[in-house]
Chains A and B, each alone.
Chain A
Amino acid sequence: MEEMPQHRLSRLPDNSALKQQKLPAHRLHFTTTRVLFVFFTTGIFCLCMGIILMLSARRTQEIEINYTRTCANCAKLRETASNFDKECTCSIPFYLSEKMKGKVYMYYKLHGFHQNLYRYIRSRSNRQLVGKDVKAVENCYPFKTSNNDTPIVPCGAIANSMFNDTIILSYNINSSVQIKVPMLKTGLTWWTDKYIKFQNPSLKNLADEFRGTTKPPNWPNPIYELDKKDPRNNGFLNEDLIVWMRTAAFPTFKKLYGRLNQTHHFIEGLPAGSYSFNITYNFPVTRFQGEKSVVLSTLTWCGGNSLFLGLAYTVTGATALLAAFAMKAIHMMLKNKQMSFFHQ
C-alpha cells in the first residue's frame, strides 16, 4: 500500500527548464535602433567595398580579340569534318597602346559552347584520369569505345571536345624583328587537379601504359603525345587537358592558356607596341554558331577585372543607406503616434 503514492508522485512532471518551456533565452527584437544601426553599417560597408572593387577593377588591363571570323577561311575549312588533318593557320596583328604591367595571362574564350550540359558534364571517367585503370570507361557515354570496342583514352565527351588551337603571341620589336613572347604552360591549374585528380599510370613509357586503347575521335594525336617535350605535361598531366576538363559553368567562358614568362623584354610585363597572334586554327566553332577569342589580361588582388561585383556592392550600399534614411524618417513620423499608442 505504501508504494501507491510513490508511484503516483512520480507522475509529477520534472521541474526542469526544458520541460516547463522556461529555457533561458534571448528574445529577438527588431528595435528601431538596432535595425537602423544594421542598415547604416551595412550600407557604409557595401558602399566602401563597392568603391574599392571598382577602383581595383579599373586598374586591370584587358584585351580581347575575337578571331572566329578573322580567320574566315580556316573557319570555313573546319566546318567540314573530313578536313581535320588539313592544317590552317592565321595571324592576327594588334597594337598595344599601353604597356600591360606585371603578370599577364592569356586566355582563350569560347562563346556558346555548352560545357554545362548534363550528359556532357557526366561524360568522363575520373578512375581513368587518375591513372588507376586506363580502361575504365563506364561513365563516358557516348565516347566510351571506338567502333572496334577499344576503350578511348581519355574517354568521354569532355575530353573529345578539347580545345586544340595553338596560339602563339609574337612581339614586333620593330617592323622586321618579331620575337615570340615566352609563355609558361605551367601553373594553369589547381594544385589538387594536377597532383590528385589527374595522374598518369606511371611516369615511364606512357605509350606502353596506353596500349590497347585508342585516341578520342576528334583528337589528331593520342594522349601520350600531347606534349612530347615535357613528360610532366604529357598524358593526363597535360595542363591544357586539365584546364579543359574543369568544365565551365556557363556557355560563355574563358580558360587560361598561358602565363607570361617575365624574362628579357617582358620583365615588367608586356611593353606597348605591336603584337600578333599566330593561331593554328583547329577548333571548329561556327558549326554550332559559337565564337572564340583570345584574351590578354592582368589581375588585381581579387582576381580578374570584373566590374560587376564592384557595381553590385555600390548599388547595394547606396540602397541600404537610402532605405536606412527612409526608415528613420518613417519612424520619426510615426513616433508621436506610436508613443501615444503604447502609452494609452
Chain B
Amino acid sequence: MTVPKEMPEKWARARPPPSWSRKKPSWGTEEERRARANDREYNEKFQYASNCIKTSKYNILTFLPVNLFEQFQEVANTYFLFLLILQLIPQISSLSWFTTIVPLVLVLTITAVKDATDDYFSSQFRHKSDNQVNNRQSQVLINGILQQEQWMNVCVGDIIKLENNQFVAADLLLLSSSEPHGLCYIETAELDGETNMKVRQAIPVTSELGDISKLAKFDGEVICEPPNNKLDKFSGTLYWKENKFPLSNQNMLLRGCVLRNTEWCFGLVIFAGPDTKLMQNSGRTKFKRTSIDRLMNTLVLWIFGFLVCMGVILAIGNAIWEHEVGTRFQVYLPWDEAVDSAFFSGFLSFWSYIIILNTVVPISLYVSVEVIRLGHSYFINWDKKMFCMKKRTPAEARTTTLNEELGQVEYIFSDKTGTLTQNIMVFNKCSIYGRSYGDVFDVLGHKAELGEKPEPVDFSFNPLADKKFLFWDPSLLEAVKIGDPHTHEFFRLLSLCHTVMSEEKNEGELYYKAQSPDEGALVTAARNFGFVFRSRTPKTITVHEMGTAITYQLLAILDFNNIRKRMSVIVRNPEGKIRLYCKGADTILLDRLHHSTQELLNTTMDHLNEYAGEGLRTLVLAYRDLDEEYYEEWAERRLQASLAQDSREDRLASVYEEVENNMMLLGATAIEDKLQQGVPETIALLTLANIKIWVLTGDKQETAVNIGYSCKMLTDDMTEVFIVTGHTVLEVREELRKAREKMMDSSRSVGNGFTYQETLSSSKLTSVLEAVAGEYALVINGHSLAHALEADMELEFLETACACKAVICCRVTPLQKAQVVELVKKYKKAVTLAIGDGANDVSMIKTAHIGVGISGQEGIQAVLASDYSFSQFKFLQRLLLVHGRWSYLRMCKFLCYFFYKNFAFTMVHFWFGFFCGFSAQTVYDQYFITLYNIVYTSLPVLAMGVFDQDVPEQRSMEYPKLYEPGQLNLLFNKREFFICIAQGIYTSVLMFFIPYGVFAEATRDDGTQLADYQSFAVTVATSLVIVVSVQIGLDTGYWTAINHFFIWGSLAVYFAILFAMHSNGLFDMFPNQFRFVGNAQNTLAQPTVWLTIVLTTVVCIMPVVAFRFLRLNLKPDLSDTVRYTQLVRKKQKAQHRCMRRVGRTGSRRSGYAFSHQEGFGELIMSGKNMRLSSLALSSFTTRSSSSWIESLRRKKSDSASSPSGSADKPLKG
C-alpha cells in the first residue's frame, strides 16, 4: 500500500506548486521557515508554533460565545432572530414576544448542550490523547546536555535524540544515526498507512555528528518551505560552515513515524506541533451535509416562499377589507394613528401574518433533526453486533449529522490492505514435485470443512521455529523428516531466495525484516520446516538446515521488478556447486522451464489452478544448476551490463533473462492474503442491495485482482474483465472505447459510429448504462487512471466504469482516490461512501459523502478523518443495511410528519383570516402557539424518529432489496413533501370549518353563547392536538413503552397545561396575561364540543387509514410484504439470498505478490546496511557515498513508468 513516488504530471498539476505560499506575501502567512540549530533565541523571533497540540474545539470559557456565534451563523436561527425583532414592533406584532423567544432559547440551549457533549464525548479520546501526547518524554539537547523534556516543550531548532521504537516527536531533519552512513529505518503506518519500513538518510556532512559534543556545536541553519500537508515532498537548504546543502524528503523524519531497527538517531526540529505534516493533514476541512439536509433547506425556502404568498394574499385581503368594511367600522375600532390608508394597513398586516404563519417553518425542526441523528449515532455506538471482540473496539459514529445518508449509499469505495484484507500473509499450501500439501484432513482422512480443524502440526523438533506459524497438514513435515530431496530443495530455495534481513537479539530469537509480508511468510515457512535462514552478509547466507548450519556463498541477486515478476539468487553451496534458485509468477516462469519437466508441469498446473480457485496467491519455484565456466562468463557479462552508461536496465534484464532459463521445476507455493472476516459475504450482500463497490488500492494489479477474486467481487462467471493499462491518453481512450463497444455489442449491436459526446447528460448516461447486459469488471492502473481522470476523458471513464459490476483501480495515489470519488459525486448524484484504514485513504474519506475508517489498526489517521469507524469491514453491512436504512426511514417519516403537523397547525390561521377581517388574529391562545411545537407534539414524533422500525433488523439483512428505497430517495422527496403538505392543509381546512359550522349556530346547553372566540380557540386546539396525536400513532410502526409514554404523556400534558393556564389562580395573579380563565372547564364540559372534536378527528384520520389500506392492497412495497409475511409467520427461506459458491476451477492468478517496490537486493549486495562493515567493504562504500539510494530511486521511477507490456493482457477472454 505505497504511494508510487513518481507523480504523473497530470495530477501533480492539480496540486499547488510547492512555492505557492512564497508567492503570496500577505501579512501573517509564513513565507519560508528558518531554523537555526541550538539557538533558541534566534528561533524565538519567528514565533513558530510550539509542539503542543490541541484538537478539541471548545474550552469552558470560550464555549458560550463561540457556540452562540456558530449557531447564529445558521440561517434558520438568524431567521428566527429576525422574527423576534419583528415581534417587538408593536404595530405589526400579532403574537407576544415569548412565542418566539421561548422556542428559540430552548432550541439554542439544546443545540449548545448537544455541541458541548459532542465535543466532550466524541473527542474525549482526543482530549485524553492530546494530553498524553503532549506529555510524552523526549530527550532534547539543551546547552550541550541531553535533558528529558515533555513533547510540548520541544521548540523549533532543538536537537532531539530518538531511540529505537520511539515515536518521532516533531518533523525532524535527520542529522545522524547509530547506523552506518546516517541511515535509519522508520515505519510510517500512522502517517500513510504503509506498514513496510522505509529508509531515511542523513546528509553526509551531518551524519558524522555522532556524539553530543559535536552536536552541541552544530549551528547550521535550515531554510525551507513553510508548513504544508504534503507528506512526500520537502525542499530546503542547510547552511553550515558557509556551505549549502540541499535537503529533501529523504532526509526528513516526520512526526507520527516510529523509529525501527535503529538504535538511536539525532534530529533537528523543523516543524513542531500544528505545523507538522501529520497535523496539517488531519484537519477536518469539509463540513458534510446530507442530501436530506439539502432537500430540507430547499423545502424550507419553498415554504418560505409559500409563507410570503399567503402573507400577500392576506395582506391584500386586509387592504380590501379595511377599505370596504373597516373604514365604516371605525366608530367601534378606529385605525391606529400610524395607519392612514387601507393600503398601509394591508402592508402592516403582511408582516403580522408573516409572524403568525412562521410556524410552518418550525424553529424546532432543525434541533429535532439533530436530536434524532444524535440518537441514531448512539445506537451505532452501542451496537454490540458491531463490537469487535478481538480488538475490543466498538463502532463509533464520529459525526452525528450523516446518519440517514447511510441509508442511501450507492457507491462504496474501498481500500484493500487493512480494509478488505488483514495484511497478513499465510503460507497456506504448496505443491512439491507434483504432490500437493496443505489440505486439511480430519481423523478419518476426509477433507475437513472449515471450522473443524484438527490440531496444527507440531514443530517442537525445531528450536528455531516461529511459534505463531500454523500449518495443518502433517504429511509435509513427514516428508521433510524422511529427507525427501525435493522437499528439502523446495525449502532450501525458500530459505535462500529472498531479500529478507534477519535480526537475532538473543540466541534463537529470530526476527525477520521482510520488505513485503509475502516474503516474510515464505521464509518463515521454511524456517519452521527446518530450513532456518539465520543470517546474511553481503556475500553469504547462513541457513540452519535441519539443525546444521550451512553457509552458502551468495553470488548474485537477480532482483524482483515489475516487469520480470520473478527473483533469483545464485549461490554456491559448501560443496562448490553453483545453483540458481528462482521464484516468480507462473505465467513468466512456466515458459522458462526445461522441457523435460513437462509431466511435472501438468500436475503442478493442476495444483496451481486449484489454489487460484481458492483465491490464493501462487508462486512457482524452480532451480537451475550452473557450471563454473558458464557462471564466470555470465558474471562477466553482467558486470559489463551493470557498468554500461546507457540503457543499463535493459541490458541487465536481458542478461538475467539469459540465465533464468531451462530451469527445473520444483513446485509452487500458495499464500493466502488473509481476508478480513466475512468480507466476501458482506460484498455479496451489499451487491444485492444494489450498492456498487469499487476497490481503490495502492497495490499492484495482480494483487488487487487476486483479492478481487478472493472476495468475490470478480468471479469467473463474469463475461469479461477489462484491464486498462495504457500509458498515453490515446491508449487509454482506445482501451476504454473497446471495453464500451464490447459491452454494447453484447447487448445490442452498436455501429462504429458510437462517439461519445462530452455534453452527454447524466440521464442519457444512465440510459446507456442500463442497456448493458452481462457482468463486466474493469481494472484500471494508476497511470491510466491519471489520463482517464482528465477533464475530457472523465465522463468516458465514468460511463465505462459504471456499466461494470466491479471496478478495481490499482496503484492509485491518495489524491487519485479522492479524484475518483469526486468524479462519481459530480456526475452520478449518488451517495458515496469511502472506507479505508490508512493515512493514504484520508483524502478519499474526506471527499466522499460518508467516510468510514477501520479502527484498531496501527494508524489512526483514517479514523480521525472519518465519519464512522469500526474495526472490521463486515460491519459495513450492518451499518448500511440496518442502521443506515432505519435512520433514513425514521428521518423521512419524521420529516413528513413534521411538515404535516405544522401545516395543519398553521394553516388554520389562514382560513380564520377570512372571518376576522384579515386582522392577523390567531385562532389559538398564544401559549398554545408557544408550546405546540416544543411540548405538545415534539416528543411523540421524536420517539418515532429515534425508535421506529418497519421490519426487524434480521429481515434487512435477509432482504437486501429493502435498501433500495433509500437509494432511489423514495421516502422523502419533493413529491412526498407535497403529499404531506396537502394532508396538512386538508387537515387544517377541516380543523377550521367543522368547528365553524357547528359553532356558527349552536349554543351551549345552558343557553349561553357557544361561539365565543375563546371556546372556539380551545376547541380547535384540542382537536388539533388529538388529531396529530392519532396521526403520529398511525405513523409509529413500532410502539415501544417509550412511544406509549410520550404519546399519552403529550396528551396528558396538553390537558394539564390547558387547565393550569385557564385556572383561577394564574388569572388572579396576572389578569392581563391569562385571559382564558375558566375556559377549559366551561368549554370542555360541553357535549357539542366533544362531538365536534370527535367528528374532526374521524374526518381527518379516516381518509389516511383508507389510503394506507388501499396502498397496502394495491401497491405494496417490499417492506410491507416483509411485514405481512412476518405477520402470518411464514418461515420463508431467504429467496433473495443467493451466495454463490465458487467452483474449484478458476483462472490462474499468479502474482509475484511482493510489494511493488524493488527489493532490498541491491542494498544487500552492496553491504550498505550491514553492521559488520569489513575493511574491504568500507573502501567500496566511501567511493560511491550515497549513490545507491539515488540509483535505487532512479530505477524505481524507471520501472514504474516504463510500459509493462505483455504482462498486462486481459486475464480472461
Chain A residues engaging chain B, CB cutoff 8 angstroms: 8-9, 11-15, 19-21, 23-32, 35, 38-39, 42, 46, 49, 53, 81, 103, 105, 107, 112, 114-121, 123, 125-127, 129-130, 132, 138-139, 142, 157, 160-161, 187-193, 196-197, 218, 243, 246-256, 259, 284, 287-289, 297, 299, 301-309, 312-313, 316, 320, 323, 327, 330-331, 334, 338, 341-342
- 6 additional contacts, CB 8 Å, given A28-B1037, A81-B331, A254-B1003? A27-B1039, A114-B917, A197-B1077, A248-B1009, A250-B1000, A303-B1003
Q: B1078 to chain A: which residues have CB within 8 Å?
A: 190-193, 196-197
Roughly how many angstroms separate A20 CA and B395 CA in the complex, as a whole number? 13
Q: Which residues in chain B, 997-1024, are within 8 Å of chain A measured between CB atoms?
A: 997-1017
Tell me which of B329, B1064, B1098, B1114 contacts A320 (CB under 8 A).
B1098
With an 8 Å Cβ cutoff, the count of chain B residues facing the other chain is 99
Roughly how many angstroms separate A265 CA and B324 CA in the complex, as a whole number? 48
Complex A-B, nearest 5 residue pairs according to Cβ-Cβ distance, in ascending order: A192-B1078, A304-B1003, A126-B1071, A19-B382, A249-B1016
A sample of 17 cross-chain residue pairs with beta-carbon separation below 8 angstroms, ordered by A number, consists of: A11-B394, A20-B384, A25-B947, A35-B1106, A46-B1098, A105-B1007, A114-B919, A116-B915, A116-B1013, A117-B333, A118-B352, A157-B333, A254-B1009, A304-B1010, A308-B1002, A330-B1110, A342-B1125
Of B325, B916, B999, B1071, the most chain A CB neighbours within 10 A belong to B1071
Asked if A23 and B1036 make an inter-chain contact with CB atoms under 8 angstroms apart, the answer reads: no
Q: Which one of B206-214, B817-825, B1088-1096, B1190-1198 is at the interface?
A: B1088-1096
Asked if B947 and A309 make an inter-chain contact with CB atoms under 8 angstroms apart, the answer reads: no
Given A25-B1040, A303-B1086, A308-B1000, CB of A126 within 8 Å of CB of B1072: yes
Chain B residues engaging chain A, CB cutoff 8 angstroms: 94, 325, 328-329, 331-334, 336, 352, 378-379, 381-385, 387, 392-394, 886, 915-917, 919-921, 947, 949, 953, 994, 996-1017, 1033-1034, 1036-1043, 1064, 1067-1068, 1071-1072, 1075, 1077-1078, 1081-1082, 1086-1088, 1091-1092, 1095, 1098-1099, 1102, 1105-1106, 1108-1110, 1112-1114, 1116, 1121, 1123-1125, 1127-1128, 1130
Tell me which of B994, B1007, B1095, B1123 contacts A103 (CB under 8 A).
B1007
Asked if B332 and A160 make an inter-chain contact with CB atoms under 8 angstroms apart, the answer reads: yes
Asked if A323 and B916 make an inter-chain contact with CB atoms under 8 angstroms apart, the answer reads: no
Q: A105 to chain B: which residues have CB within 8 Å?
A: 1003, 1007
The A-B contact count (CB < 8 A) is: 288
Roughly how many angstroms separate A304 CA and B1003 CA in the complex, as a whole number? 4
Q: A327 to chain B: which residues have CB within 8 Å?
A: 1106, 1109-1110
Asked if B392 and A309 make an inter-chain contact with CB atoms under 8 angstroms apart, the answer reads: no
Given A23-B1042, A25-B1038, CB of A127 within 8 Å of CB of B1071: yes
Given A25-B1040, A304-B1010, CB of A331 within 8 Å of CB of B1095: no
Q: B334 to chain A: which residues have CB within 8 Å?
A: 142
Roughly how many angstroms separate A123 CA and B394 CA in the complex, as a whole number? 63
Q: A81 to chain B: which residues have CB within 8 Å?
A: 331
B311 nearest CB across to chain A (Å) = 15
Given A9-B392, A12-B387, CB of A253 within 8 Å of CB of B333: no
Of B998, B1004, B1113, the most chain A CB neighbours within 10 A belong to B1113
Q: Is the interface of A mostly helix, strand, loop or mixed?
A: mixed
Given A25-B1039, A26-B1039, A142-B333, CB of A259 within 8 Å of CB of B1007: yes
Given A13-B387, A23-B1040, A120-B332, CB of A248 within 8 Å of CB of B1007: no
Roughly how many angstroms separate A256 CA and B332 CA in the complex, as a whole number? 21
Asked if B382 and A323 make an inter-chain contact with CB atoms under 8 angstroms apart, the answer reads: no
Tell me which of B333, B947, B1064 contacts A21 (CB under 8 A).
B947
Asked if A116 and B916 make an inter-chain contact with CB atoms under 8 angstroms apart, the answer reads: yes
Q: A255 to chain B: which residues have CB within 8 Å?
A: 1009
A8 nearest CB across to chain B (Å) = 4
Q: A118 to chain B: which residues have CB within 8 Å?
A: 94, 352, 916, 919-921
Nearest A residue to B1106 via CB reads: A323
Tell me which of B336, B919, B1001, B1123 contacts A117 (CB under 8 A).
B919
Nearest B residue to A323 via CB reads: B1106
Given A30-B1109, A81-B331, A114-B917, CB of A288 within 8 Å of CB of B325: yes
Given A196-B1078, A309-B1091, A320-B1098, CB of A303 within 8 Å of CB of B1002: yes
Nearest A residue to B1109 via CB reads: A35
Q: B1102 to chain A: which residues have CB within 8 Å?
A: 39, 42, 316, 320, 323
Asked if B1091 and A53 make an inter-chain contact with CB atoms under 8 angstroms apart, the answer reads: yes
Nearest A residue to B331 via CB reads: A287
Q: A288 to chain B: which residues have CB within 8 Å?
A: 325, 328-329, 331-332
Q: A287 to chain B: which residues have CB within 8 Å?
A: 328, 331
Q: A25 to chain B: which residues have CB within 8 Å?
A: 947, 949, 1038-1041, 1043
Roughly how many angstroms separate A64 CA and B1113 CA in the complex, as a whole number? 53
Roughly how many angstroms separate A251 CA and B394 CA in the complex, as a whole number? 65
Q: B1009 to chain A: which residues have CB within 8 Å?
A: 107, 243, 246, 248, 253-256
Q: B1037 to chain A: which residues have CB within 8 Å?
A: 27-28
B406 nearest CB across to chain A (Å) = 15
Roughly how many angstroms separate A14 CA and B1009 CA in the complex, as a whole number? 60
Asked if A120 and B333 make an inter-chain contact with CB atoms under 8 angstroms apart, the answer reads: yes
Q: B392 to chain A: which residues have CB within 8 Å?
A: 8-9, 11-12
Q: B1036 to chain A: which residues have CB within 8 Å?
A: 28
Asked if A49 and B1067 make an inter-chain contact with CB atoms under 8 angstroms apart, the answer reads: no
Roughly how many angstroms separate A49 CA and B996 CA in the complex, as a whole number? 19
Roughly how many angstroms separate A330 CA and B1112 CA in the complex, as a whole number? 11
Roughly how many angstroms separate A332 CA and B441 CA in the complex, as a whole number? 60
B502 nearest CB across to chain A (Å) = 30
Roughly how many angstroms separate A341 CA and B1001 CA in the complex, as a whole number? 53
Q: A39 to chain B: which residues have CB within 8 Å?
A: 1102, 1105-1106
Q: A19 to chain B: which residues have CB within 8 Å?
A: 378-379, 382-384
Q: B1040 to chain A: which residues have CB within 8 Å?
A: 23-25
Asked if B387 and A114 make an inter-chain contact with CB atoms under 8 angstroms apart, the answer reads: no
Roughly how many angstroms separate A49 CA and B1090 CA in the complex, as a whole number? 12
Q: A299 to chain B: which residues have CB within 8 Å?
A: 1003, 1005, 1007
Tell me which of B382, B1015, B1075, B1110 contacts A13 (CB under 8 A).
B382
Q: A303 to chain B: which residues have CB within 8 Å?
A: 1002-1005, 1010, 1086-1088
Q: B1124 to chain A: which residues have CB within 8 Å?
A: 342
Asked if A130 and B1071 make an inter-chain contact with CB atoms under 8 angstroms apart, the answer reads: yes
Asked if A114 and B916 make an inter-chain contact with CB atoms under 8 angstroms apart, the answer reads: yes
Tell me which of B325, B998, B1121 contacts A306 (CB under 8 A).
B998
Roughly how many angstroms separate A190 CA and B1083 CA in the complex, as a whole number? 10
Roughly how many angstroms separate A20 CA and B386 CA in the complex, as a whole number? 11
Asked if A35 and B1105 make an inter-chain contact with CB atoms under 8 angstroms apart, the answer reads: yes
Asked if A116 and B1001 make an inter-chain contact with CB atoms under 8 angstroms apart, the answer reads: no
Roughly how many angstroms separate A125 CA and B1072 CA in the complex, as a whole number? 7
Roughly how many angstroms separate A305 CA and B1002 CA in the complex, as a whole number? 6
A132 nearest CB across to chain B (Å) = 7
Q: A115 to chain B: which residues have CB within 8 Å?
A: 1013
Q: B329 to chain A: which residues have CB within 8 Å?
A: 114, 288
Q: B1121 to chain A: which residues have CB within 8 Å?
A: 341-342
Asked if A27 and B994 make an inter-chain contact with CB atoms under 8 angstroms apart, the answer reads: no
Roughly how many angstroms separate A21 CA and B691 CA in the complex, as a whole number? 25
Q: A103 to chain B: which residues have CB within 8 Å?
A: 1007
Q: B1098 to chain A: which residues have CB within 8 Å?
A: 42, 46, 316, 320
B264 nearest CB across to chain A (Å) = 27
Roughly how many angstroms separate A250 CA and B334 CA in the complex, as a whole number? 20
Tell me which of B385, B394, B921, B1086 contacts A121 (CB under 8 A).
B921
Roughly how many angstroms separate A287 CA and B4 CA in the complex, as a whole number? 92
Asked if B1011 and A248 make an inter-chain contact with CB atoms under 8 angstroms apart, the answer reads: yes
Nearest A residue to B378 via CB reads: A19
Q: B1001 to chain A: which residues have CB within 8 Å?
A: 304-308
Q: A192 to chain B: which residues have CB within 8 Å?
A: 1064, 1077-1078, 1081-1082
Tell me which of A53, A117, A307 contacts B917 (CB under 8 A).
A117
Roughly how many angstroms separate A29 CA and B1124 CA in the complex, as a whole number? 8
Asked if B332 and A13 make an inter-chain contact with CB atoms under 8 angstroms apart, the answer reads: no
Q: A188 to chain B: which residues have CB within 8 Å?
A: 1008
